[in-house]
Chains A and B, each alone.
Chain A
């Protein structure tokens, strides 16, 4: 069954033939292939380290997000009890945006965990194949005539070559995914930095860029619900309830 049409099988086959065409003399091919195998094994180890680093970064970001959620919630309450509903709304919008982001982060962390596991398995598999290849070529050399040995060894080299190409593919996909996540994590960090949540009091009527970006993935109704709930809680709990019904504060909080 030769006519494989899939892109991935073509990619793998192409890499194998490139690997084997490298040298005319089969014994050279062997040495070259063996060197490549060891090189690749090193790369896989590096790839695993990258994935672990990315995972740790995302976990750290998760913690920061969780802290920000608590902080924004407190700030929204404070703003509301001071009668500044607009400000409370902004804080809740940001909180919702960060909560959405948190859900995505959880998924990404577990995806990276999968990647890590997969690459670790691959590394083991590759190691076994390399060992097998090394002993097989010695056995073949000892058992067969030179011409026959050439054929058999190049068969074995194709097998191990396919494994190598496949490890390469697994690596590439892991790296691509990790890069995507890093880029996304970086963008969120920038967003956070630009929004410096400490400065909520300085936000007036006009909304800045960050607010608009945040609103894109904020569900308004969720914010409305939370605001209403918070109002009810504050209204029930404190004596200054009447003040809060007033909707928009006159001052607007802008400077």
Chain B
């Protein structure tokens, strides 16, 4: 799965990591719903870390992303309109 971190770059995630990302995504939605800012940032940081651990796409690979993560400097307010319902990744 190709994941972009908005304003950063694209990475190629394995299926295992994609599953893990989805779990974090769902937990992040719960944190936003609960208004738990600290917990949200913790989870969002974990998501970014997970994606950054994957191999980045080369400069000459022109591919669309399957998932786009919001920019790393996302505020909690902005998170409210990102992490809702099924989160960034459906399911």
Q: Is A251 an interface residue (CB 8 A)?
A: no
Please determine whether A169 and B62 come into contact, CB atoms closer than 8 angstroms. no
Mask, A151-182, CB within 8 Å of B = 1, is 00001111110110010011001000000000
Known A-B contacts A1-B90, A8-B6, A122-B7; A159 and B62 likewise in contact (beta carbons under 8 Å): yes
Contact of A162 among B65, B78, B88, B89 (CB under 8 A): B65
Please determine whether B86 and A8 come into contact, CB atoms closer than 8 angstroms. no
Name the distance in Å between A215's Cβ and chain B's nearest Cβ: 29
B residues in contact with A129, CB < 8 Å: 59-60, 62
How many residues of chain B get a CB closer than 8 Å to chain A's CBs?
31
Query: Which B36-91 residues sit within 8 Å CB-CB of chain A?
Result: 59-71, 73, 78, 81-90
A residues in contact with B64, CB < 8 Å: 16, 155, 158-159, 162
Name the distance in Å between B17's Cβ and chain A's nearest Cβ: 14
Mask, B8-37, CB within 8 Å of A = 1, is 110000000000000000000000000000
B residues in contact with A118, CB < 8 Å: 7-8
Separation of A13 and B67 alpha carbons in the complex (Å): 11
Contact of B90 among A3, A133, A155, A173 (CB under 8 A): A3
Name the distance in Å between B8's Cβ and chain A's nearest Cβ: 8
Please determine whether A132 and B59 come into contact, CB atoms closer than 8 angstroms. yes
Separation of A155 and B63 alpha carbons in the complex (Å): 7
Interface size class of A (residues with CB under 8 A): 20 to 34
Query: Which A204-253 residues sit within 8 Å CB-CB of chain B?
Result: none
Separation of A243 and B87 alpha carbons in the complex (Å): 69
Q: Is A49 an interface residue (CB 8 A)?
A: no
Q: Is A18 an interface residue (CB 8 A)?
A: no
Separation of A90 and B4 alpha carbons in the complex (Å): 53
Return the chain A residue nearest B72 by Cβ: A118
Please determine whether A160 and B62 come into contact, CB atoms closer than 8 angstroms. yes
A residues in contact with B86, CB < 8 Å: 3, 5
Most buried by B among A125, A160, A163: A163
Known A-B contacts A166-B6, A169-B71, A170-B7; A6 and B88 likewise in contact (beta carbons under 8 Å): yes
A-B contacts, 18 of them at CB < 8 A, read: A1-B67, A3-B90, A4-B88, A4-B89, A5-B87, A6-B69, A7-B82, A12-B4, A16-B64, A125-B9, A125-B59, A132-B59, A132-B62, A133-B62, A155-B62, A162-B64, A170-B6, A173-B71
Which residues of A come within 8 Å of B, CB atoms?
1, 3-9, 12-13, 16, 118, 122, 125, 128-129, 131-133, 135-136, 155-160, 162-163, 166, 169-170, 173
